[in-house]
Amino acid sequence: MEPNQSKETVLSKNALAIDHIALCVEDLEESIRFYTTKLGFSLVDRLDIRGESTGMISAILKAGPVVFVLCQGTSPDSQVSRFIENFGPGVQHVALAVEDLGETFHALEARGIPAETEIIEGEGIKQIFTKREPHMGVRLEFVERRGGSFTPQSVEKLFRTMEQHGAY
């Protein structure tokens, strides 16, 4: 096999699409205005999430099949605020939709890609986050949807899990 060719992987079999991209922003309202008025995205939903000691406000924006989740920390020690302090505003994670989250996760784990969270389940949806890749600064999320979507409860559970791990 040539060096630039890769073997079939679990992602080449299970990856469906980019589910969403989460962007950390310093000013949520200004960011919403930019994406809706300049780029034509529609505001789909807003969330106000509180963890044990920190929180975030977010907006879900959509243009065709493209989904951005804009996130702003509610305090300096928020995960989102800490991300911006360390990396600047921008892409916090890329979420990949997969057919089978369990198979995907086990295959990635076997390749030495550690999880930051356990599998978080909601009604009709499962998700897991990897640890942030130190050479790129971006973390990956894998999402399996079976007719469900994120709820404030599932996002809060995720937020609290990330707080417990000190992740941002």
Residue by residue, pLDDT tens for the chain (168 residues) are: 444 445 667 778 889 999 999 999 999 999 999 999 999 999 999 999 887 778 899 999 999 999 999 999 999 988 899 999 988 999 999 999 999 999 998 888 888 888 888 888 888 889 999 988 778 777 899 999 988 777 777 777 777 777 776 776
Distance CA 15, CA 156 (A): 25
Domain 10-165 = CATH 3.10.180.10: yes
What are φ and ψ of residue 73, in 5° steps? -70, 155
- Three-state secondary-structure class, residue 138: coil
**Radius of gyration of the chain, Cα coordinates, nearest whole angstrom:** 16
Domain boundaries, the chain: 10-165
Q: Check residue 128 and give its pLDDT.
A: 92
Where residue 37 falls (left for φ over 0; alpha for ψ -120 to 50; beta otherwise) is: alpha
Contacts with 77 (C-beta within 8 Å, 6 or more apart), sequence order:
53, 54
Record the pTM.
0.85
C-alpha distances (whole Å) from 32 to each of 49, 71, 110, 126, 140 are 18, 10, 39, 27, 23
Count of beta carbons in the 10 Å neighbourhood of residue 62? 15
Pull the structure tokens for residue 120: 């978080």
